[in-house]
């Protein structure tokens, strides 16, 4: 069994995964464990402990609670990872997700602020927090989870946040390449996921918001060539590929994973 494990494309790598309690982050943790990674699972929800426990015994997995919408949370998560493993080879930033669905003029200022805080800042803070140790070791890979919703309806603040993730990816890739650091991203399309154990927001506020959300779903499916949502596994596998040495000559790239919808 150990020999099979040694074939994993993340064998021996210390991989930090944010948003690991559910959704794409959780699936990435599972796939990375199958690929022999040592894992640091980060989330602000206590369910992250259960995710760590569910991984195979052969996966060296630890977990830590942190609110990555704050710099202090990101700094603490990185410090914990370095205490546990002395290095971070890969940082996968999977925290984010639209909270409300509505035309832009129906977002009040507090909602706009909340969307940016949720879907841009955790990636910005984590990237900044993990960079010094990667520079010191002269190697590292950052994989950001963006979205094809940069071209989509009823989610303008979220779209703006993900556009920020794309720009962070390309600009930092240019800056960090000389230090042996790759910075890449995937842009997931619509993804089927089980009911969220930790809700993203208050839920649709009545029939009007239900209708706005349905418009998002319809537009997302219509924009794909495959005319369907993807699975969590279909999102996680490309992320793990980009994190691995198989992608060693790829940096600054945002890979659309949206059934043919390229986003923008």
Taking only the tens of pLDDT, the chain with its 264 residues reads 344 445 799 999 999 999 999 999 999 999 999 999 999 999 999 999 999 999 998 889 999 999 999 999 999 999 999 999 999 999 999 999 999 999 999 999 999 999 999 999 999 999 999 999 999 999 999 999 999 999 999 999 999 999 999 999 999 999 999 999 999 999 999 999 888 777 777 777 789 999 999 999 999 999 999 999 999 999 999 999 999 999 999 999 999 999 999 998
Q: Is residue 263 part of a domain?
A: no
Rounded CA separation 221/227 (Å): 5
Helix axes 121-137, 156-176, angle to 10 degrees: 10
Per-residue 3-state assignment (H helix, E strand, C coil) for the chain:
CHHHHHCCCCCCCEEEEECCCCHHHHHHHHHHHHCCCEEEEEECCCHHHHHHHHCCCCCCEEEEECCCCCHHHHHHHHHHHHHHHCCCCEEEECCCCCCCCCCHHHCCHHHHHHHHHHHCHHHHHHHHHHHHHHHHHCCEEEEEECCHHHCCCCCHHHHHHHHHHHHHHHHHHHHHHHHCEEEEEEEECCECCCCCCCCCCCCCCCHHHHHHHHHHHHHHHHHCCCCCCECHHHHHHHHHHHHCHHHCCCCCCEEEECCCCCCC
Domains in the chain, number = 1
Residue span of the structural domain in which 101 resides:
2-257
Q: What is the pLDDT of residue 3?
A: 44
Phi, psi of 207, deg, nearest 5 = -65, -35
- Whether 53 is in a domain gets the answer yes
Cα angle for residues 254, 258, 259 (degrees, 5° grid): 130
φ, ψ dihedrals at 224, nearest 5°: -90, 150
**What's the token pair of residue 54?**
């569910």
Residue 238 CA to residue 254 CA, distance in Å, equals 11
Q: How many CB atoms lie within 10 A of CB 208?
A: 11
Q: Which pLDDT value is given to residue 196?
A: 76
Residue 262 lies in a domain: no
- At 10, list the tokens: 């993340």
Decide if 52 is inside a domain. Answer: yes
Residue 158 annotated as catalytic = yes
Query: Which of 80, 107, 158, 229 is the catalytic position?
Result: 158
Is 264 part of a structural domain of the chain? no
Q: How far is CA 144 from CA 77, 108, 198, 219, in A?
A: 16, 28, 21, 24
CB atoms within 10 A of CB 2: 7
pLDDT score at 258: 98
Position 234 scores a pLDDT of 98
On whether residue 33 sits in a domain, the answer given is yes
CATH number at residue 55: 3.40.50.720
């Amino acid at each position: 069994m150990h020999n099979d494990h040694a074939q994993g494309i993340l064998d021996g790598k210390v991989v930090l995964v944010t948003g690991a309690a559910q959704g794409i982050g959780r699936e990435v943790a599972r796939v990375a464990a199958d690929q022999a990674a040592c894992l640091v699972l980060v989330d602000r929800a206590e369910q992250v402990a259960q995710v760590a426990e569910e991984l195979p015994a052969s996966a060296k997995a630890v977990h830590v609670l942190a609110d990555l919408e704050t710099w202090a949370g990101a700094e603490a998560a990185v410090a914990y990872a370095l205490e546990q493993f002395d290095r971070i080879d890969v940082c996968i930033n999977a925290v984010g997700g639209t909270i409300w669905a509505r035309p832009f003029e129906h977002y009040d200022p507090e909602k706009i602020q909340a969307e940016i805080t949720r879907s841009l800042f955790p990636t910005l803070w984590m990237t900044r927090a993990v960079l010094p140790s990667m520079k010191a070791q002269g190697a590292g890979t950052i994989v950001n989870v963006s979205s094809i919703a940069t071209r989509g309806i009823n989610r303008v603040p979220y779209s703006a946040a993900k556009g920020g993730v794309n720009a962070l990816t390309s600009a930092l890739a240019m800056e960090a390449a000389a230090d042996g650091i790759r910075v890449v991203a995937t842009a997931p399309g619509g993804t089927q996921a089980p009911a969220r154990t930790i809700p993203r927001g208050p839920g649709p506020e009545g029939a009007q918001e239900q209708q706005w959300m349905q418009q998002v779903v319809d537009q997302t499916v219509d924009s794909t060539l495959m005319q369907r949502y993807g699975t969590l596994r279909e999102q996680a596998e490309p992320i793990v590929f980009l994190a691995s040495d198989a992608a060693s000559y790829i940096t600054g790239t945002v890979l659309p994973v949206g059934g043919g919808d390229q986003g923008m």
